Amino acid sequence: MNTINSYAHIKYNQVSVNGEIVFQSNPSLSLAEFLSEAYKALGVSYPKFHKMDAQCKLGFLCAEFALKETSFLTENDLTKTAIVLSNAASSLETDRIHQHSIDDRSNYFPSPAVFVYTLPNITIGELAIKHKITGENAFFVSEQLDANLLVNYTESLIQSGSEAAIVGWVEVDGANFEAFIFLSEKQKDTNKNAIFKPLNQTSVITIYNQTIWTH
Amino acid sequence: MDALIEKLKGQIIEQLNLAEVKPEEINPDSPLFGEGLGLDSIDALELIVLLEKHYGIKIQDPKDGKTIFQSLRTMAEYIKSQGKS
């Protein structure tokens, strides 16, 4: 059976892991400020984080929080670990930043470091680079979290050779942002601190709605 | 030259988002790529933009980049040689 063994959710300047809020910042902080605070709270040193756009930072943090207390990365074959993400806005926020940098022909200095993030699946790339994950990947754009799509696609990957998957939603559009990532793998008895929910649409919707946000 | 190197340190940290690097940690003679600051190919492009944006210098031949961006000092020397400091 394929299971969901850990998940993280970031919204309203708060981070929850397996339904429990583990970090929250002042709700008045901007997204950039919140991401910086959450990075410090995570307690990892990964200088490349600071070069990422907001969407990649958000996806990176959400995945890190989901992975933190698990043995997911050590117990799965990373060449057979998939990453499946989705959102509604694609890379719109970074697209806007890039557009702004080329609006004025007299002050025309487009940034290569911004431009490389004008694709949503770069978020997958950042996770893959960080953890040396080389399995299948896909990024879907849909109006809202499509649990059915994510579950069906992950199941199909697992049926065709993948052994585990990092799956979810990473969205940044202006001041609105949300990330929700769960870890799915074949059920093992050795996973410490893991929750075990069957990988299906009901489980995904249940865990997505589980966190009680405080503001 | 030292003043230009210090100025470049700040500009590089800002332009390349090296948030965990302090100016005093950058050795002006250490390689910018591979070791030292460990910059990558996108950073190289950002350095080209930095020279154009802040010093009005356009690198005409990309092959020159390897020499110019060898270290902070070689960058500063190149800016000086272009009379743009």
The reported pLDDT for the residue numbered A213 is 95
Mutation pick from B18, B37, B41, B42 vs chain A, by most beta carbons of A within 10 Å, is B42
Q: Is the pTM of this model over 0.80?
A: yes
CB atoms within 10 A of CB A53: 21
Mutation pick from A53, A102, A109 vs chain B, by most beta carbons of B within 10 Å, is A109
Mutation pick from A37, A45, A51 vs chain B, by most beta carbons of B within 10 Å, is A51
Report the sign of the C-alpha dihedral through residues B52, B55, B60, B62, in that order: negative
Looking at domain B2-81, what is its CATH homologous superfamily? ACP-like (1.10.1200.10)
The reported pLDDT for the residue numbered A81 is 98
Cα(B21)–Cα(A35) distance, integer angstroms = 18
Q: Which of A4-8, B27-31, B37-41, B77-81 has the lowest mean pLDDT?
A: B37-41
CA neighbours closer than 13 Å in the CB half-sphere of residue B70: 10
Give the residue extent of every domain in chain B: 2-81
Domains and CATH numbers, chain A: 2-208 (3.40.47.10)
pLDDT beneath 50: ranges in chain A: none
The reported pLDDT for the residue numbered B34 is 80
**Is the Cβ–Cβ distance between A91 and A120 less than 8 Å?**
yes
| Amino acid making up residue A80 | K
User: At A166, phi and psi to the nearest 5?
Assistant: -105, 120
**Is the Cβ–Cβ distance between A180 and A168 less than 8 Å?**
yes
- How far away is chain A from the Cα of B3, in angstroms, using its nearest Cα? 25
Q: Which of B17, B45, B53 sits opposite A51 (nearest CB)?
A: B17
CA neighbours closer than 13 Å in the CB half-sphere of residue B47: 29
Q: State the virtual CA torsion across A60, A64, A65, A69 in degrees, nearest 10.
A: 170
Structure tokens at A116: 């490389």
- The most confident of A167-181, B27-41, B48-62, by mean pLDDT: A167-181
B45 CB-near residues (< 8 Å, 6+ apart): A112, A113
Average confidence score pLDDT of chain B: 91
Per the listing, tokens 């585990």 go with: A164
The reported pLDDT for the residue numbered A190 is 59
The reported pLDDT for the residue numbered A189 is 62
Confidence of residue B61 (pLDDT cuts 50, 70, 90): confident
Say yes or no for a CB contact (<8 Å) between B45 and A50. Answer: no
Contact of B59 with chain A, judged by CB distance below 8 Å, is answered with: no
pLDDT by residue (tens digit) across A115-160?
999 999 999 999 999 999 999 999 999 999 999 999 999 999 999 9
Contact of A40 with chain B, judged by CB distance below 8 Å, is answered with: no
Q: Which of B19, B20, B49 sits opposite A112 (nearest CB)?
A: B49
**Is the Cβ–Cβ distance between A172 and A150 less than 8 Å?**
no
